Amino acid sequence: MRQLRYLFVHSGWDNAAIQWHQDIVARHCQRGFKVEPFCNVPRMPAPHYTFQQLDELWRRRDPEVLQVYRQLVEIASSCDVLINFNGANIHPEWLQDIPTFNVYICWDDPESSTLLSEPVAKFFDVAFTGNAACVPLYQSWGVKRCDFLPLCCPDNERDTSMTAERILEGKRDVDLVFLGERESSWRQQKLDRLQAAFPQAIMQGRGWPAGFLPAEQKLPLYSRAKIGWNLHNSVGPVNLRTYALPANGVLEICDNKCRLGQLFELDKEVTGFDTIEECVELTCYYLAHEQERREIAARGFERVMRDYTEEKQWERLLTTIAPYLELKRKGKLDTPIYNSSSEQATQGKSLVASKVESAVKRAFHRVGFDIKRLKPSERQNEGQDTANSSKTICYEENPEAGPANWSEKVARVTKGESFEWPNMVALNWAVATLVGPARRIVELGGGTGCFAYEVSADPKRFILCSDFDKAAIRWARENRSRENIKYIDRSPTPDDGPFDLLVAIDVIEHLQDYRSFLETCVSLAPRAIITTPNKSRDQQSATASPPSYYQHVREWTAGEFYWVLKVYYQSVKVYAMPNIYIPKLKPIKITDTLTPLVAVCEQPYRWVGNIEREHS
């Protein structure tokens, strides 16, 4: 890989950004690699285009875009690998004229996915997302080869003289620091609460009264700081702070705790939170425990130096693409080719249509109505149901299929599909954000341990993961083991406890006797998180009888699911995922059509465990 020539294509919104990227290239060259930078914007410096803007300019053959295209093709003709860094302006149609192995990298998912990644990523030979939570999103777009590539801490974002000894013994006279924007409403509310709780904190960036901190003052400030907060606009971690804070000896307190725990050891190298209350509590604790704070910060520094430097990121990138590069040389790499007349035109149309449809649905939701699109056959029969309204239509159920977790995964891999369904991976990760203060967790139907492994990133938790599929449990023990996880292939009992929380992710719809299942849930823990698909997620599912997926005995609407659970729990709060491939949840009403349904159930009725089962 060291003998290859690399073309590093980047954006250049201002002169400082151009220099920042070119400095990265220069350091790679100093390490013995042949890397050439290419700023892919017309008349630089200038902001990069969104894909929609670039596509429009390319279609009408804008002279400046054509010039960039010709320059790129000419330079790429003498290179082996093209690296499109952070969604720079490369139209996928250009790739047909470029002989290189083409790599796509983006650090702005999911907020900018529709503008940068989604329209183009699948046309590159390999695609990377820098957001640890967004691999399922890339898979949902049909990206055949996608992976997570940590953003790392570039050499110019850290004090290169920093050592573990300085972190353990040196002077740190700034309690708290946050350098980042305060403009998005979601993040602004949380940051304002932190500022109110800790008025001594230094907080600067776009939207703060003090404005930007001059670039030359950033590293000196970090070298004095004890604790640095890190908050994202949605899911993560993904930003430079994730790596720059520990690289400069600052104890990082970061959101997206479980995903953070897949990058660092929580409470040993960094610490994480899911709620702002948890962040405040952690901040108070580590301000009062100086030695413990220093030791964690020192270990975080050592972890970055070991795994997340600029050099380590480059090595990880090349190691990942090496086998695919060889396949392409042999003509055995199947990469989709951009079709401007069909697929992308449809994408543009669907983007506008989806925005209009979403706006209309939101307006109707506010007044308690929902909209469903009727098929032509349904329109022809529209109005006939009124005449037959006295007839009762019974909802049919599928027979219970039994454990099939492992066999279905094997079948998918055989067909070239992903081992785990991307939407189920995102759901498991999303549920992990609701665990809260629970320390002892029992999971029913845990399969191959996706949730157990995610939530066990917090070492203060213990997880008992149960599934009747012995092959799935065996794989989980071999591939997703941690000291604080125990996998069993039998039903857990109260004797295995006590437990603070029970979790059952998309299990209840597979069971014939869901009543006994819910009684078991109540007997095992005082709090439960139970998920299931929303029967109203689309017209076909809403009217299917029985459910179209043979393993689902039955499905519920949000209202039906809520009232079933209310029989067993005094408090039931229902959430759903606005995008089934992004591990983010929002509270919903019982009339909502978002899916999957995620119910947080508390305060079980005392009589449930003793009820006589006459209903069965």
The fold of 5-152+312-329 is Rossmann fold (3.40.50)
Report the b/e string of 104-133 with b at 16+ CB within 10 A: bbbbbbbebbbbbbbbbbbbbbbbbbbbbb
pLDDT band at residue 225 under the 50/70/90 scheme? very high
pLDDT given for residue 367 in this prediction = 42
Domain spanning 164-308, CATH architecture: 3-Layer(aba) Sandwich (3.40)
Q: How many other β-carbons are positioned within 10 Å of the β-carbon of residue 534?
A: 23
Q: What size, in residues, is the chain? A: 616
Q: Cβ distance 299 to 268 under 8 Å? A: yes
pLDDT score of 368 more than 50: no
Residue 538 tokens read as: 């689309």
DSSP letter for each residue of 203-249: EESTTSTT-PPPHHHHHHHHTTEEEEEE--SSS---STHHHHHHHTT
- Beta sheet of 5-10, edge-to-edge order: 34-39, 5-10, 81-85, 101-106, 126-129, 146-148
Q: Reply yes or no: is the peptide bond before residue 323 cis, omega within 30 of 0.
A: no
**CA 17, 32, 90, 180 torsion: positive or negative?**
negative
pLDDT score of 296 more than 90: yes
> What distance in Å separates the CA atoms of residue 215 and residue 227, rounded to the nearest whole number?
19
Residue 295 tokens read as: 């030791």
Q: How many other β-carbons are positioned within 10 Å of the β-carbon of residue 326?
A: 12
**Alpha helices for 308-399 (secondary structure H):** 310-329, 343-366, 376-380, 384-387
Instruction: Name the segment(s) of the chain with CATH classification 3.40.50.150.
Output: 408-608
Of 534, 529, 536, the C-alpha closest to 571 is 529
**Cα dihedral 427, 433, 436, 441 in deg (nearest 10):** 40
DSSP summary character for residue 595: S
pLDDT band at residue 482 under the 50/70/90 scheme? very high
pLDDT digits (tens, 9 = 90+) for 42-58: 888 998 899 999 999 99
> What distance in Å separates the CA atoms of residue 172 and residue 162, rounded to the nearest whole number?
13
Of 219, 236, 278, the C-alpha closest to 253 is 278
Query: What average pLDDT score do residues 314-333 get?
Result: 96
pLDDT score of 246 more than 90: yes
Q: What separation in angstroms does the CA of 319 have from each of 138, 147, 325?
A: 20, 12, 10
pLDDT given for residue 616 in this prediction = 40
pLDDT digits (tens, 9 = 90+) for 497-520: 999 999 999 999 999 999 999 999
pLDDT given for residue 417 in this prediction = 86
Token look-up 């469903």 returns 372
pLDDT given for residue 177 in this prediction = 98
Q: Cβ distance 243 to 304 under 8 Å? A: yes
Q: What percent of the chain has pLDDT over 70?
A: 90
pLDDT band at residue 525 under the 50/70/90 scheme? very high
Of 454, 464, 518, 515, the C-alpha closest to 490 is 464
Residue 83 tokens read as: 């690296």
Amino acid at 4: L
SS3 content of the chain, % helix, strand, coil (to 5): 40, 15, 45
- Beta sheet of 586-587, edge-to-edge order: 485-488, 462-466, 440-444, 501-504, 527-532, 597-604, 569-576, 586-587
Who contacts 82 (Cβ-Cβ below 8 Å, separation ≥6)?
Answer: 6, 7, 9, 76, 90, 98, 100, 101, 102, 103
Instruction: Name the segment(s) of the chain with CATH classification 3.40.50.2000.
Output: 5-152+312-329, 164-308
pLDDT given for residue 292 in this prediction = 98
> What distance in Å separates the CA atoms of residue 214 and residue 192, rounded to the nearest whole number?
22
pLDDT digits (tens, 9 = 90+) for 370-427: 444 444 444 444 444 434 444 556 889 999 988 888 888 999 889 888 899 999 999 9
Q: How many other β-carbons are positioned within 10 Å of the β-carbon of residue 236?
A: 23
**Cα dihedral 443, 445, 446, 448 in deg (nearest 10):** 160
Residue 187 tokens read as: 């993040």
Report the b/e string of 53-72 with b at 16+ CB within 10 A: ebbebbeeeeeebeebbeeb
Per-chain mean pLDDT for the chain: 90
Q: Cβ distance 253 to 276 under 8 Å? A: no
Residue 251 tokens read as: 């104890």
Query: What average pLDDT score do residues 321-329 get?
Result: 96
* CATH no. of 408-608: 3.40.50.150
